[in-house]
Amino acid sequence: MLYVGIDLGTSAVKLLLMDASGKIEKIVSREYPLSFPHPGWSEQNPEDWYDKSLDGLRELLADCDKSQVAGISFGGQMHGLVILDKDDQVIRPAILWNDGRTTEETDYLNQVIGKDKLSAYTANIAFAGFTAPKILWVKKHEPENFAKIAKIMLPKDYLAYRLSGTFCTDVSDASGMLLFDVQHKCWSKEMMEICGVKESQLAQIFESYEAVGTGTVGDGSCNISLGTSGTIFISSEKFGVDENNALHSFAHADGHFHLMGCMLSAASCNKWWMDEILKTKDYAGEQKEIEVKELGKNHVFFLPYLMGERSPHNDPNARGTFIGMTMDTTREEMTQAVLEGVVFGLRDSFEVAKKLGIQIERTKICGGGAKSPLWRQMVADILNVKVDIPKSEEGPSMGGAMLAAVACGEYASVEEAAEKIVEVVDTVEPIPENAARYEKQYQKFRRIYPTVKELFPVIE
């Protein structure tokens, strides 16, 4: 039998066809536009997702026996708000995960409702990208649209609804809405009341997602994704929340839980630097002159907060910042600073996990940025862990296909599917001298944001 995994990304939808043994038969991708109607806003037209996915499915299945396709599963961008009216028409463009317009709503939830209550209700506090603050924003700024809402969906759930007619979501993605009681795996009555929504407007919940495609299941497993955003997933058998809610505590696809730290800009920082500033598409060429033996010696630092930041700072006003340049600073040092800044940002979340007593000695890695050998070495050195490279870098779409296979009975469990399908083909070891230098560099990096934090609202 064949299984399809669909990853609804921020800039493109990726569709993957997998056979029963886990072999990837074909991969198809379709891009769609992203709009920024105001500084810090980020929107998309849900109809584009549907049209491009259908077009991609036609190409994906063009050369196979379609009767052999046993199941399709979906993954993709979290937190986005899609609202439909009673006729199932999209009311307004989707407000995406990296949209920063909800500063007032986030402050209201965290400061007036209170972080302690939010954590008790949902296991998380409010972040600007979460769905609940977006609902409150629509309620305040677009009351006519709020009054029309019949269904509230996440992006990938809208796509599933259009293709299947089933109004549902999974516990993992529901965990990122700030409407879901993660510990008890049900919609939070308190949060529905706070946001002014009814349970009938919310999807039916099922067990589940994304890091499954890299085999990140089982207690203490870790995966880093260097995509548009940067994420650290740490799976856990036990439910847990850090004292400052700097990491998200979500339900996981293996039936247990995971901690997640999310940076709003990761590989997108490098894309911005290459495309918009250096005006080049030769990503590998720009990294060629950066020597591994010189890592940890850079005097230039970069704060990777081009869209604000989520974990662990929860600051939509934060901005990208270079510091440390001198008259002899080179192009290569600036490029290196961008790459290092992203990994330093990931380490911020890594440090929170360590304070919870979670010891991580190795991690898998996926996403577009993971294709860079230099960046992978930086991850190993800055985090001082072994970095395992899966044979397939198609984490979310592969995870979707694997979940479809599990749902169809091809594998008895998510753990079994991960064990049999996910293959590690290489491991990057941390270089002790680099790790020692980067330890000192990280201690410098972590002082920069608190020092300049008060400037960000001033320069808006």
Q: Which of 182, 178, 186 is nearest to 205 (CA)?
A: 186
> Could you tell me the end-to-end alpha-carbon distance of the chain, in angstroms, rounded to an integer?
54
Could you tell me where in the chain the CATH 3.30.420.40 domains are found? 2-206, 215-460
- Side chain identity at residue 161, one-letter code: Y
Give per-residue burial for 298-320: e unless 16+ CB within 10 Å, then b: bebbbbbbbbbbbbbbbbbbbbb
pLDDT of 159-198, one tens digit each? 999 999 999 998 888 988 999 998 888 999 999 999 999 9
Pull the structure tokens for residue 282: 């030769």
Q: Nearest-5° angle of CA 5, CA 7, CA 11?
A: 155
Selected from 3.30.2320.80, 3.40.50.720, 3.30.420.40, 3.30.9.80, the CATH number assigned to the domain covering 215-460 reads: 3.30.420.40
Beta strand extents in 154-203 (DSSP E only): 168-170, 180-181, 186-187
**Phi-psi domain of 115 (left: phi exceeds 0; alpha: psi -120 through 50; beta: other):** alpha
**Distant-in-sequence, close-in-space partners of 86: CB < 8 Å, separation ≥ 6:** 148, 150
- 150 SS3 class: coil
What is residue 51's predicted lDDT score, i.e. its pLDDT? Answer: 97
What is residue 446's predicted lDDT score, i.e. its pLDDT? Answer: 96
Write the CA distances from 100 to 41, 112, 114, 149, 273, integer angstroms. 6, 19, 20, 22, 21
The CATH code of domain 2-206 reads 3.30.420.40
248 annotated among ligand-binding-site residues: no
79 annotated among ligand-binding-site residues: yes
Give per-residue burial for 4-13: e unless 16+ CB within 10 Å, then b: bbbbbbbeeb
What is residue 285's predicted lDDT score, i.e. its pLDDT? Answer: 96
Interhelix angle for 373-383 vs 432-452, to 10°? 80
Whether 235 contacts 251, CB under 8 Å: no
pLDDT of 236-247, one tens digit each? 666 556 666 667
Q: How many CA within 13 A on the CB side of residue 143?
A: 1
Pull the structure tokens for residue 68: 């052999």
Separation of CA 53 from chain center: 20
What is residue 288's predicted lDDT score, i.e. its pLDDT? Answer: 95
Whether 74 contacts 159, CB under 8 Å: yes
Beta strand extents in 111-229 (DSSP E only): 151-153, 168-170, 180-181, 186-187, 204-206, 222-226
Pull the structure tokens for residue 236: 């856990």
Pull the structure tokens for residue 24: 């990837």
Q: Beta strand pairing status for 362-366 and 386-390?
A: parallel
Radius of gyration of the chain (CA): 21
What is residue 322's predicted lDDT score, i.e. its pLDDT? Answer: 98
pLDDT, block means (10 residues), the chain with 460 residues: 92 93 93 91 96 96 93 89 98 95 95 94 90 98 98 95 92 91 91 97 78 52 88 72 64 62 92 97 96 96 93 89 98 98 95 83 91 97 95 77 89 86 92 98 98 91
Q: Is the dihedral of CA 64, 9, 342, 362 positive or negative?
A: negative
What is residue 246's predicted lDDT score, i.e. its pLDDT? Answer: 62
